[in-house]
Amino acid sequence: MDKPGLLVVGILPDWDLEALAERFTLHKLYEAPDRAAFLAQHGLSIRAISTKGELGADPAMMDACPQAKIIACYGVGVDAIDLPAARARGIAVTNTPDVLTEDVADMAFALLLATARAIPEGDAYVRSGIWAKRGPMRLATRVWGKCLGIVGLGRIGRAIARRAEGFGMSIAYSGRMRKDVPYAFHPSPAALAPQVDIFIVSAAGGAATAGLVDRAAIEALNPGAIFVNVSRGSVVDEAALIAAIRSGRIAVAGLDVFHNEPAIDPVFATFDNVVLSPHQASGTVETRKAMGALMLDNLNAHFDGRPLPTPVA
Ligand code: 8YV
């Protein structure tokens, strides 16, 4: 019997492609020079779509694959998948929650420490030989004991807060609603910003949070604030962020996500008080293996007629 066709929207590690190929005929959209022509050629044989957090699936893709009744996302964020369009077409959507939470929280702290403690600058200072010529490097900024504000206290926000407890920080957060946690609640990012030294954005992406960290929030940050984003570029007013980095209101920033990835605003590369990361927060071998396995579990469940392990509500 022919294997069902699977549209693979974005590149996946070989171990996932091999596992998927055991059950599916893979149609690799990311290798196609002309996406529309590729979808026109293979669309009718496609029975499932595998996509990624940042790539999503739009109605045109769904319409080009009318037999596809599941979109399995390799990532927790489904903001780039048109969920109403999927629902209207009777297409189930799954994602990979939980398995990546701790790695994303690690990345938030890695960016925080890298920026505040000037790790990339120190590395260059040693490698270039400047240390031997000029002596000690400039002083950096302390992290432990500071006041941390978290925008979005979901699974990842809470994992960041747990790490912050270990750093002796006081913790505050903003979100849609107050949670049962011993941290100070502020109803908006703009209310949170002036209360904290460090501001970490970990809210989910999507229409509901587009521009949530707005100009008012960024301008309300204390001068010298440290800013980290591990959620989605869309959550932050990027023009306001750039202005605050330029003016020094934000002393240092660690950014894993941007508007228009991967063709991000080139101005970021000109800032020496910013550490840039290529949307890599879930990018460890361990977590990516777990994400791939969970995506495959969902696809298998769909084709076996079992309940989906992690459906998107
Ligand atoms: C990406 C992510 O999906 O989980 C998410 O929402 O953004 C990431 O984990 C990952 O980079 C795979 O491309």
Which of 27, 42, 232, 302 is catalytic? The answer is: 232
pLDDT (tens digit, 9 = 90+) per residue, 66-114? Answer: 999 999 999 999 999 999 999 999 999 999 999 999 999 999 999 999 9
Indicate which residue's Cα is closest to atom 6 of ligand 1: 77
50 Cα–ligand 1 center, Å? 13
5-99+285-304 against 101-276: fold identical = yes
Please report, for the chain, the start and end positions of each structural domain, with discontinuous segments joined by +: 5-99+285-304, 101-276
- Active site annotation includes 261: yes
User: Looking at the domain that runs over 5-99+285-304, which CATH code has it been given?
Assistant: 3.40.50.720
> Which residues touch 90 (CB under 8 Å, ≥6 apart)?
69
Q: Answer whether residue 253 shows pLDDT above 90.
A: yes
Give the rounded percent of residues in the chain with a pLDDT score beyond 70.
Answer: 100
Provide the mean pLDDT of the chain: 98
pLDDT above 80 for 297? yes
Query: Would residue 84 be called left, alpha or beta, if left means φ above 0 and alpha means ψ between -120 and 50 degrees?
Result: alpha
Quote the CA–CA distance of 246 and 232 in Å, as a whole number: 21
Distance 62 CA to ligand 1 centre (A): 21
What ipTM was reported for this prediction? 0.96
- Total-model pTM: 0.96
Q: Residue 30 phi/psi, 5° resolution?
A: -65, -15
* pLDDT exceeds cutoff 90 at 313: no
Of 27, 20, 28, 25, whose CA–CA distance to 2 is shortest?
A: 25
Q: How far is the CA of 182 from the centre of ligand 1 (A)?
A: 29
| Res. 122 pLDDT band, cuts 50 70 90 | very high
- What whole-number distance in Å separates Cα of residue 96 and Cα of residue 71? 12
Which architecture does CATH list for 101-276? Answer: 3-Layer(aba) Sandwich (3.40)
154 lines ligand 1 (CB under 6 A): no
Q: What's the whole-number mean pLDDT along residues 289-313?
A: 98
- Which residues are CB-neighbours of 211 under 8 A, at least 6 positions away? 234, 235, 236, 237
Does the pLDDT at position 258 exceed 90? yes
Q: Is 2 exposed, middle or buried (0-12, 13-18, 19+ CB in 10 A)?
A: exposed
